[in-house]
Structure 1
């Protein structure tokens, strides 16, 4: 199965780049995957590392990039990560495969999965925050029906351009676009193939998605360096703060699996788990309000 992930030059540094490397190294645990990186920007040491580790690096740009730039110039839109938008180009780039796997960079493969047995009508995805709430999917792990997506691309791009032309598209992102455009037309993916570290630990899960704070952020929380005064950081960090034992269990499990693949990454994961296990709060756990996921906006 062809496995696509995507990043832009700005995202190749820091936590995003670290997680992309972890994803590539963990792919050895996943069975047969053909890693392909969609990349936007100037080639650098990050892309050279990817090529040294068997990744095909493909220069790409998101669909409707011109409309994004116009919207940005007038202050109506801000692309927090062009790398995320690159996933929308996969059906246009890959024209000789029937199905493909896409993941965000901040995932780790945990065990072999028969991805070829998953054959969605358009694509398959798992829930966003809670494993039993199916009214809104997380696009961090998707199995793509490339022909079906390619046939819908012109209509989808018309929707994208209309949205970018609106007076305020600042809250618009690729996941929102996919959920809105394909509502009722996507298939369910086993939640264990997009497991979150704030969910109860499941040793049978196939993919762990660091949805929330990344490794550097988890370290900062454990070391009490996290910026709890910033509203966005507070909301992200609360996912870990409210579920510390679950994070410790997932990190420990991943560290053990990675020992035969990359001892350096394995040791880092174990160190993070140990520091987090010793994390002592001085106040009640911060919680992330997820009630909005059951609101009328996303009602079935």
Structure 2
């Protein structure tokens, strides 16, 4: 499939121009994309020459509404780089042979995963959600599969609309105008083709779009913290980074391991990775210090706070005698086959009893898990609460979810497991959260799934 990206001279001399070279490097590693750049600039300058060396076809093109953008810049301070942004609307005028093409912004990274391009056949174009993963009423125009002849039918009407509505959508640039004009005529793009880091860490996404915070924002965040100098979207950028810092770190590592970032972008990425490690280390040190103080407090309670200790013991003994409702959680093979799994349960109460945990294999065989060998993370429990046959275990974690970790050593031949079954007696009806990963101790929100209990 032909892949178009668009940029002008202003963008070519900024960070987005460096990202364009990353996107081109990652796209050329694939065998299913032919890169074409619409460039509003000198096609023999250094930027265009670098793209050509990478194997990109560079086409000279200016936006049909460039003059209106320049006038809006003089009157309304409308950003001049919009000339490059609106070039995507010119693709259908340039493309003469293919019915469907891919467009992306410059700040994307192509992974090696297979994409069934032939199955994406939009009526005009297909695009993913704009900002919220589950809000599909508006779209992000940073990745689109375009039906060329159908888009061409509406191209001039759209450009006329855009040229007459540059001011009302400020501080937004092209995207709110695209949404307003095409609000009822776009198809949904598979979400993995426009995955933003603030959605979570998704190992199966095909196109990672570094939309929102740029690398200098990430670098500054881990080294100095957020800054009001980031402009009108400073608070939004700060919120996106703080809520998704680990995801940006993971995706940045992928970029560094796959391509060679050009110019200052390489230094910014390396500084961000190093700064992230330093930030994590300092956080661990603070947490360790706080944990030490908590352990001192617990020791004080155990030794001198006899009343509190007796209350907890009494509560646990009462729970042993109460006829609690039984629940069963069934974790199917699509998760059970992963080598590393974290189970989080009793989130509402922080206390409950595991009656049994076992694997069911595809051949019908059942294997019980020895509860005394479970890796229970920070959970507090006493071995005297395990029944003699290790088939029942009372757990308490002071009101926090109880985590159980599995790795490859807990159950080999994972591909033969049909399901994992957890039988519990709980204080309240609860939900089990299962988080799965290929790499031990790397559990990400986007790989989590909630499982409702089945009442016995």
Structure 1-normalised TM-score?
Answer: 0.83
Q: List per-residue Cα deviations over 1:70-96 (Å, max 9, x = no partner).
A: 333333744443211111110111122
Q: Greater relative contact order (Cα 8 A, min sep 6): structure 1 or 2?
A: 1
Q: Which residue of 2 aligns with 1:285?
A: none
For the Cα contact (< 8 Å) 1:198–1:243, is it kept in 2? Answer: yes
**SS at the partner of 1:74?**
helix
In 2: Cα distance, 1:217 partner to 1:76 partner: 23
Does the alignment pair 1:59 with 2:60? yes
**SS at the partner of 1:198?**
helix
Q: Which residue of 2 aligns with 1:36?
A: 36
Q: 1:177 to 1:169 in 2, by over 3 A?
A: closer
Q: List per-residue Cα deviations over 1:191-242 (Å, max 9, x = no partner).
A: 1111111122111000111111222322222222753454433422331122
Alignment of 1:63-78 (within 5 A): 63-75=64-76, 77-78=78-79
Q: Which stretches in structure 2 are left out of the alignment for 5+ residues?
A: 284-456
Q: Which residue of 2 aligns with 1:218?
A: 218
Alignment of 1:96-175 (within 5 A): 96-111=97-112, 112-164=114-166, 168=168, 170-171=170-171, 173-175=173-175
Greater share of strand residues, 1 or 2? Answer: 2
**Aligned-residue offset at 1:274:** 4.0
**SS at the partner of 2:62?**
coil
Structure 2-normalised TM-score?
Answer: 0.56
Q: Which stretches in structure 1 are left out of the alignment for 5+ residues?
A: 283-300
**SS at the partner of 1:120?**
coil
Q: Which moved more, 1:58-67 or 1:46-55?
A: 58-67
CA RMSD of aligned residues (A): 2.6
**SS at the partner of 1:245?**
helix
**Aligned-residue offset at 1:101:** 0.4
In 1: Cα distance, 2:222 partner to 2:83 partner: 30
Matched positions, count: 277
**Aligned-residue offset at 1:177:** 1.6
**Aligned-residue offset at 1:29:** 4.1
For the Cα contact (< 8 Å) 1:255–1:267, is it kept in 2? Answer: no
